[in-house]
């Protein structure tokens, strides 16, 4: 009963804090964007535009400016190639010197004789604008404290893909439209044609042509992709933004479509936290422990796994992300460990570092019981004890405790390469620019261990900040193939700042570093282009096994091999991606 009282107290505190906030700060439906103070095309230029609104195909490589007349457009016909089961993206651009009322988008089914790609496989979204900032002043990365937003060059950029289906377009502005076609796996090979239509109450309908050539290759469903995707989830951010009690039914209802989008991207890992603030304060919404640790009056320990079990069960059985559970962490950024002390009826903390007796006792007792619980639930083989960017000596001490508690525990680390502990790590994710020795990687693959790569705020290019060129997100998937990694990790899927739909800036890190999707289960240009790169990697792996012609295989491998840090110095990212994708779709 004591444990239940503690949990209820924390939930009540969070709920009261959320309710006290202004609900208007957290829009889920339509909303107003911030004002862009950057110079833009004047009324003189806009008034020279045709009296009627204009609609043309654009490029998914461009974040079109809201208040400037688009100059890089591609006419009225969009042609694309796709595998069966693949998702492909297009972007149209609508602009007008006068206000457009009640604008809405529709798309026809795509037909090839009697065969069709149904409209249910096609999604359209208005692209919205969010405030962003810039790289550090030295342009070498995005890791910095930014308490004063005025000190950073900020502007509105196109990124959120809205769920609102009818909206007004203001006079003298540009409205991008995102189109995503998820080709059914049973689609017959051939060219499919259809139209995109834009209509409103004060202008005549306009149409653009679509032509998709479906190739004779099939991409598996996302749950069957080999690509090991690990984007860290933050359930605490969802509770705060949606203003619902933590771990309540409403909380899980709010998370369901958000996490389903992640499953549809091929996510393999559940992010779980087994201590309070494993990353200290790097996000607005701090991560709490999903396990309550109780030191009883007699000095023995007990553990409450209620929250952990609800979270894992939800992600596995309702969302479908069920291959791995990464539990953070034995080595946090601040070496302080919480527990509930029955004797004093208070929360207390142990301050200890790896190697200390108090540290060993605290974690040794927990891990022994955690192993028992995981085996009872049938989750032990899927679980890793996870660490993030920790030093070698600390890792060695933590590994001793983990293996003593249960020699069969799997361990994961995202960080630098250490030969001394490589064999102890099941899931080893290296920082961008680092790689595994070839023999080591081959050995890990034979043992079915995961060997991946990650980016964070460190990299100026490639990255997925809200100001990053969209093709950089696609580039990352190609880099996985080039580096012979098994997949990609990024530290933040939905760790939202205060008002993410309007302002992607945060007081630490470059804008957008904390999240890839928006509230209201809105995707983003960055997220869709990242999925594009993941699909490309899957296609590369399939073709490398399927192609029997030596020259064709050499052609494919040659262009893949360019996607290294060194290759970035030779070509511009967008050019690399476009050239490579043409080759990939030529087989």
Q: Are 286 and 231 in contact (CB under 8 A)?
A: no
For residue 424, CA distances in Å to 403, 418, 420 come to 10, 11, 9
| Cα separation of the two ends of the chain | 64
Residue 18 has pLDDT above 80, yes or no: no
What's residue 23's pLDDT?
A: 56
All residues at 6 or more sequence positions from 483 whose CB lies less than 8 Å from its CB, including other chains: 435, 453, 563, 564
pLDDT band at 22 (very low <50, low <70, confident <90, very high): low
Cross-sheet strand order for the sheet of 122-132: 54-57, 87-96, 173-182, 122-132, 155-161
Q: Is 422 helix (H, G, I), strand (E, B) or coil?
A: helix
Residue 14 has pLDDT above 70, yes or no: no
Q: Which helix (H) or strand (E) holds 489?
A: strand 487-490
Using alpha carbons, select from 415, 420, 412 the residue that is nearest to residue 329.
412
pLDDT, tens digit, for every residue of 559-585? 999 999 999 877 899 999 999 999 999
What HEC string does 168-204 produce?
Answer: EECCCEEEEEEEEEECCCCCCCEEEEEEEEEECCCCC
Taking the C-alpha atoms of residue 583 and residue 576, their distance in angstroms, rounded to an integer, is: 11
pLDDT, tens digit, for every residue of 528-554? 999 999 999 999 999 999 999 999 999
Taking the C-alpha atoms of residue 556 and residue 585, their distance in angstroms, rounded to an integer, is: 10
Residue 16 has pLDDT above 60, yes or no: no
Q: Is 367 helix (H, G, I), strand (E, B) or coil?
A: helix
Return the domain boundaries, the chain: 25-218
Angle 235-242/2-19 helices, nearest 10 degrees?
50
**Averaged over 354-372, what is the pLDDT?**
97
Taking the C-alpha atoms of residue 349 and residue 92, their distance in angstroms, rounded to an integer, is: 55
What's residue 24's pLDDT?
A: 72
Q: 25-218 architecture in CATH?
A: Sandwich (2.60)
For residue 471, CA distances in Å to 20, 126, 440 come to 41, 20, 31
pLDDT, tens digit, for every residue of 225-239? 999 999 999 999 999
Q: What percent of the chain has pLDDT over 90?
A: 93
Helices (H), 447-549: 471-482, 525-546
Q: Are 556 and 544 in contact (CB under 8 A)?
A: yes
Q: Are 482 and 562 in contact (CB under 8 A)?
A: yes
Q: Are 97 and 172 in contact (CB under 8 A)?
A: yes
pTM of the model: 0.95
Cross-sheet strand order for the sheet of 292-295: 301-304, 292-295, 336-341, 346-351
All residues at 6 or more sequence positions from 142 whose CB lies less than 8 Å from its CB, including other chains: 135, 136, 457, 458, 459, 460, 463, 465, 509, 510, 513
Q: What percent of the chain has pLDDT over 70?
A: 96
Q: Pseudo-torsion of CA 40, 45, 51, 53, nearest 10°?
A: -30
- Mean pLDDT, rounded, of the chain: 95
What's residue 426's pLDDT?
A: 98
Q: Classify 179 in phi/psi space as left (phi over 0), alpha (psi -120 to 50) or beta.
A: beta
pLDDT, tens digit, for every residue of 204-232? 999 999 999 999 999 999 999 999 999 99
All residues at 6 or more sequence positions from 98 whose CB lies less than 8 Å from its CB, including other chains: 51, 53, 171
pLDDT, tens digit, for every residue of 293-310? 999 999 999 999 999 999
Q: Is 209 helix (H, G, I), strand (E, B) or coil?
A: strand
What's residue 4's pLDDT?
A: 40
What's residue 15's pLDDT?
A: 39
Q: Which long-range contacts (CB under 8 A, 24 or more apart) does 574-577 make?
A: 574/61, 574/469, 574/471, 576/471, 576/475, 576/478, 577/61, 577/471, 577/474, 577/475, 577/478
Using alpha carbons, select from 395, 253, 263 the residue that is nearest to residue 329.
395
Taking the C-alpha atoms of residue 264 and residue 17, their distance in angstroms, rounded to an integer, is: 33
Residue 411 has pLDDT above 60, yes or no: yes
């Amino acid at each position: 009963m004591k444990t239940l009282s503690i949990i209820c107290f924390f939930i009540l505190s969070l709920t009261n804090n959320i309710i006290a906030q202004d609900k208007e700060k957290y829009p889920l439906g339509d909303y107003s964007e911030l004002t862009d103070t950057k110079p833009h095309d004047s009324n003189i230029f806009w008034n020279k535009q045709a009296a009627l609104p204009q609609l043309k195909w654009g490029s998914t490589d461009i974040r079109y400016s809201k208040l400037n007349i688009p100059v890089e457009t591609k006419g009225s016909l969009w042609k694309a190639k796709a595998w069966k089961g693949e998702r492909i993206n297009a972007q149209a651009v609508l602009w007008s010197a006068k206000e457009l009322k009640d604008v809405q988008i529709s798309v026809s089914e795509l037909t090839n004789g009697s065969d069709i790609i149904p409209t249910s496989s096609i999604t359209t979204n208005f692209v919205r604008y969010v405030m962003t900032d810039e790289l550090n002043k030295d342009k070498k990365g995005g890791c910095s404290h930014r308490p004063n937003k005025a000190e950073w060059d900020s502007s509105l950029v196109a990124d959120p893909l809205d769920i609102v289906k009818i909206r007004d377009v203001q006079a003298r502005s540009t409205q991008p439209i995102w189109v995503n076609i998820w080709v059914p796996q049973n689609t017959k090979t051939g060219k499919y044609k259809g139209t995109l239509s834009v209509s409103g109450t004060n202008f005549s309908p306009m149409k653009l042509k679509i032509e998709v050539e479906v190739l004779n290759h099939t991409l598996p469903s996302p749950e069957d992709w080999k690509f090991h995707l690990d984007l860290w989830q933050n359930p605490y951010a969802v509770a705060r933004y949606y203003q619902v009690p933590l771990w309540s039914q409403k909380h899980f209802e709010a998370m369901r479509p958000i996490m389903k989008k992640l499953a549809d991207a091929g996510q393999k890992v559940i992010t779980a936290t087994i201590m309070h603030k494993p990353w200290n304060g790097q996000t607005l919404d701090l991560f709490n422990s999903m396990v309550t640790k109780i030191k009883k009056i007699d000095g023995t320990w007990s553990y409450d796994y209620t929250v952990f079990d609800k979270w894992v069960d939800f992600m596995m059985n309702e969302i479908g992300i069920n291959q791995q559970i990464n539990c953070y962490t034995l080595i946090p950024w601040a070496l302080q460990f919480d527990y509930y002390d029955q004797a004093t009826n208070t929360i207390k903390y142990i301050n200890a570092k790896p190697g200390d007796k108090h540290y060993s006792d605290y974690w040794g007792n927990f891990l022994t019981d955690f192993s028992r619980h995981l085996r009872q639930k049938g989750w032990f083989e899927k679980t890793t004890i996870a660490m993030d960017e920790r030093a070698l000596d600390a890792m060695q001490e933590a590994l001793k405790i983990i293996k003593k508690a249960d020699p069969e525990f799997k361990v994961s680390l995202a960080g630098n390469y250490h030969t001394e502990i490589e064999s102890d790590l099941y899931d080893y994710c290296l920082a961008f620019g680092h790689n595994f020795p070839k023999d080591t990687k081959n050995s890990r693959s034979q043992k079915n261990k995961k060997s991946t790569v990650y980016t964070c705020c460190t990299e100026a290019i490639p990255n997925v900040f809200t100001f990053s060129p969209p093709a950089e997100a696609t580039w990352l998937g190609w880099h996985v193939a080039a580096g012979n990694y098994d997949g990609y990790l990024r530290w933040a899927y939905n760790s939202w700042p205060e008002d993410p739909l309007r302002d992607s800036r945060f007081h630490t890190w470059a804008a957008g570093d904390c999240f890839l999707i928006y509230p209201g289960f809105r995707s983003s240009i960055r997220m869709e282009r990242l999925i594009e790169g993941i699909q490309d990697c899957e296609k590369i792996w399939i073709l490398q096994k399927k192609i029997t012609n030596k020259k064709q295989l050499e052609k494919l491998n040659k262009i893949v091999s360019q996607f290294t840090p060194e290759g970035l110095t030779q070509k511009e990212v967008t050019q690399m991606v476009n050239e490579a994708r043409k080759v990939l779709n030529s087989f």
